[in-house]
Protein backbone atom coordinates (compact mmCIF):
# COMPACT_ATOMS: atom_id res chain seq x y z
CA UNK A 1 0.00 0.00 0.00
CA UNK A 2 1.44 3.42 -0.95
CA UNK A 3 2.51 5.43 2.12
CA UNK A 4 0.14 8.32 1.29
CA UNK A 5 -2.90 6.01 1.26
CA UNK A 6 -5.29 6.69 4.13
CA UNK A 7 -4.26 10.38 4.23
CA UNK A 8 -7.88 11.43 4.90
CA UNK A 9 -7.83 9.63 8.27
CA UNK A 10 -11.10 9.90 10.20
CA UNK A 11 -12.31 12.63 7.80
CA UNK A 12 -12.74 9.95 5.14
CA UNK A 13 -16.26 9.05 6.30
CA UNK A 14 -17.30 12.73 6.05
CA UNK A 15 -15.81 12.92 2.57
CA UNK A 16 -17.70 9.75 1.63
CA UNK A 17 -20.97 11.13 3.07
CA UNK A 18 -20.49 14.36 1.08
CA UNK A 19 -19.66 12.30 -2.04
CA UNK A 20 -22.98 10.44 -1.75
CA UNK A 21 -24.96 13.66 -1.00
CA UNK A 22 -23.64 15.30 -4.17
CA UNK A 23 -24.20 12.07 -6.14
CA UNK A 24 -27.90 12.45 -5.16
CA UNK A 25 -27.99 16.08 -6.40
CA UNK A 26 -26.21 15.08 -9.61
CA UNK A 27 -28.59 12.20 -10.29
CA UNK A 28 -31.61 14.44 -9.62
CA UNK A 29 -30.29 16.84 -12.28
CA UNK A 30 -29.50 14.04 -14.73
CA UNK A 31 -33.07 12.72 -14.35
CA UNK A 32 -34.71 16.15 -14.62
CA UNK A 33 -32.94 17.57 -17.65
CA UNK A 34 -34.14 15.10 -20.35
CA UNK A 35 -37.67 15.39 -18.85
CA UNK A 36 -37.38 19.15 -19.32
CA UNK A 37 -36.25 18.49 -22.91
CA UNK A 38 -39.39 16.42 -23.58
CA UNK A 39 -41.64 19.28 -22.32
CA UNK A 40 -39.47 21.81 -24.16
CA UNK A 41 -39.96 19.92 -27.44
CA UNK A 42 -43.72 20.34 -27.08
CA UNK A 43 -43.65 24.14 -27.46
CA UNK A 44 -43.05 26.20 -30.60
CA UNK A 45 -39.56 27.60 -31.29
CA UNK A 46 -39.40 31.29 -30.27
CA UNK A 47 -42.58 31.14 -28.13
CA UNK A 48 -42.70 32.47 -24.54
CA UNK A 49 -42.87 28.87 -23.30
CA UNK A 50 -39.70 28.08 -25.32
CA UNK A 51 -37.87 30.93 -23.57
CA UNK A 52 -39.10 29.78 -20.15
CA UNK A 53 -37.78 26.23 -20.74
CA UNK A 54 -34.41 27.60 -21.88
CA UNK A 55 -34.25 29.60 -18.63
CA UNK A 56 -35.21 26.55 -16.49
CA UNK A 57 -32.67 24.31 -18.25
CA UNK A 58 -29.97 26.94 -17.91
CA UNK A 59 -30.61 27.26 -14.17
CA UNK A 60 -30.61 23.46 -13.70
CA UNK A 61 -27.28 23.32 -15.54
CA UNK A 62 -25.63 26.21 -13.66
CA UNK A 63 -27.02 25.66 -10.15
CA UNK A 64 -27.35 21.86 -9.87
CA UNK A 65 -25.67 19.85 -12.63
CA UNK A 66 -22.27 21.47 -13.20
CA UNK A 67 -21.45 22.13 -9.50
CA UNK A 68 -22.56 18.64 -8.36
CA UNK A 69 -20.63 16.88 -11.13
CA UNK A 70 -17.48 18.82 -10.22
CA UNK A 71 -17.86 18.12 -6.48
CA UNK A 72 -18.65 14.39 -7.04
CA UNK A 73 -15.46 14.08 -9.14
CA UNK A 74 -13.23 15.95 -6.68
CA UNK A 75 -14.49 13.97 -3.66
CA UNK A 76 -14.51 10.69 -5.61
CA UNK A 77 -10.89 11.17 -6.67
CA UNK A 78 -9.91 12.05 -3.08
CA UNK A 79 -11.54 8.78 -1.93
CA UNK A 80 -9.84 6.85 -4.73
CA UNK A 81 -6.38 8.09 -3.75
CA UNK A 82 -7.14 7.68 -0.05
CA UNK A 83 -8.12 4.03 -0.59
CA UNK A 84 -5.54 3.51 -3.35
CA UNK A 85 -8.10 1.56 -5.38
CA UNK A 86 -6.45 2.11 -8.77
CA UNK A 87 -5.51 -1.56 -9.25
CA UNK A 88 -8.92 -2.95 -8.21
CA UNK A 89 -11.34 -4.24 -10.83
CA UNK A 90 -14.53 -2.88 -9.19
CA UNK A 91 -12.97 0.58 -9.12
CA UNK A 92 -11.72 0.54 -12.73
CA UNK A 93 -15.21 -0.61 -13.84
CA UNK A 94 -16.83 2.13 -11.74
CA UNK A 95 -14.37 4.67 -13.12
CA UNK A 96 -15.24 3.75 -16.74
CA UNK A 97 -18.95 4.02 -15.96
CA UNK A 98 -18.69 7.39 -14.18
CA UNK A 99 -16.67 8.59 -17.15
CA UNK A 100 -19.52 7.48 -19.43
CA UNK A 101 -22.05 9.19 -17.13
CA UNK A 102 -19.99 12.39 -17.34
CA UNK A 103 -20.10 12.02 -21.13
CA UNK A 104 -23.91 11.77 -20.90
CA UNK A 105 -23.85 14.99 -18.86
CA UNK A 106 -21.73 16.61 -21.60
CA UNK A 107 -24.13 15.41 -24.30
CA UNK A 108 -27.04 16.94 -22.34
CA UNK A 109 -25.36 20.33 -22.10
CA UNK A 110 -24.69 20.15 -25.87
CA UNK A 111 -28.35 19.28 -26.52
CA UNK A 112 -29.44 22.20 -24.33
CA UNK A 113 -27.33 24.55 -26.49
CA UNK A 114 -29.01 23.19 -29.63
CA UNK A 115 -32.47 23.78 -28.12
CA UNK A 116 -31.35 27.30 -27.21
CA UNK A 117 -30.59 27.89 -30.91
CA UNK A 118 -34.03 26.60 -31.95
CA UNK A 119 -32.81 23.17 -33.14
CA UNK A 120 -34.66 19.95 -32.19
CA UNK A 121 -32.41 17.14 -33.48
CA UNK A 122 -34.05 14.24 -31.58
CA UNK A 123 -37.62 12.96 -31.34
CA UNK A 124 -39.49 12.83 -28.03
CA UNK A 125 -39.33 9.03 -28.16
CA UNK A 126 -35.52 9.11 -28.49
CA UNK A 127 -35.32 11.54 -25.55
CA UNK A 128 -37.49 9.27 -23.40
CA UNK A 129 -35.22 6.32 -24.24
CA UNK A 130 -32.08 8.32 -23.40
CA UNK A 131 -33.72 9.18 -20.09
CA UNK A 132 -33.20 5.54 -19.03
CA UNK A 133 -29.40 5.81 -19.33
CA UNK A 134 -28.60 7.55 -15.99
CA UNK A 135 -30.84 5.20 -13.96
CA UNK A 136 -29.24 2.05 -15.34
CA UNK A 137 -25.72 3.54 -15.02
CA UNK A 138 -26.36 4.65 -11.40
CA UNK A 139 -27.66 1.19 -10.42
CA UNK A 140 -24.52 -0.52 -11.78
CA UNK A 141 -22.19 2.13 -10.26
CA UNK A 142 -23.75 1.74 -6.78
CA UNK A 143 -23.49 -2.09 -6.98
CA UNK A 144 -19.82 -1.78 -8.01
CA UNK A 145 -19.08 0.71 -5.19
CA UNK A 146 -20.94 -1.18 -2.44
CA UNK A 147 -20.55 -4.89 -3.32
CA UNK A 148 -17.13 -4.46 -4.97
CA UNK A 149 -17.46 -7.71 -6.99
Which residues carry a binding-site annotation for heme?
Answer: 19, 94
Q: Count residues contacting ligand HEM (CB under 6 A)?
A: 20
Interface with ligand HEM, residue 73, by CB under 6 A: yes
Which range binds ligand HEM by CB under 6 A, 20-28, 33-41, 59-67, 114-122? Answer: 20-28
Interface with ligand HEM, residue 30, by CB under 6 A: no
The residue number with the shortest CB distance to ligand HEM is 76
Question: How far apart are the C-alpha atoms of 92 and 84, rounded to whole Å?
Answer: 12
Backbone torsion region of residue 148, taken as left when φ is above 0, otherwise alpha when ψ lies between -120 and 50, otherwise beta: left
Phi, psi of 61 (to 5 degrees): -65, -45
Question: How far apart are the C-alpha atoms of 45 and 115, rounded to whole Å?
Answer: 9
Query: Nearest CA to 141 among 104, 90, 80, 107?
Result: 90
Contact with ligand HEM (CB under 6 A) among 1, 10, 44, 146:
146
Cβ atoms of 75 and 22 within 8 Å: the answer is: yes
Contact with ligand HEM (CB under 6 A) among 30, 65, 122, 138:
138
Which range binds ligand HEM by CB under 6 A, 33-41, 42-50, 56-64, 136-144? Answer: 136-144
Amino acid sequence: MADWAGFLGATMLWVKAAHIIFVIFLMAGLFMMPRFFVYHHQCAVGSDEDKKWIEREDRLRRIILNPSLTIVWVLGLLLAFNGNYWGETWFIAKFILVFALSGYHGWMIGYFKKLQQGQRPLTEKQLRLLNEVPGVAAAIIVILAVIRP
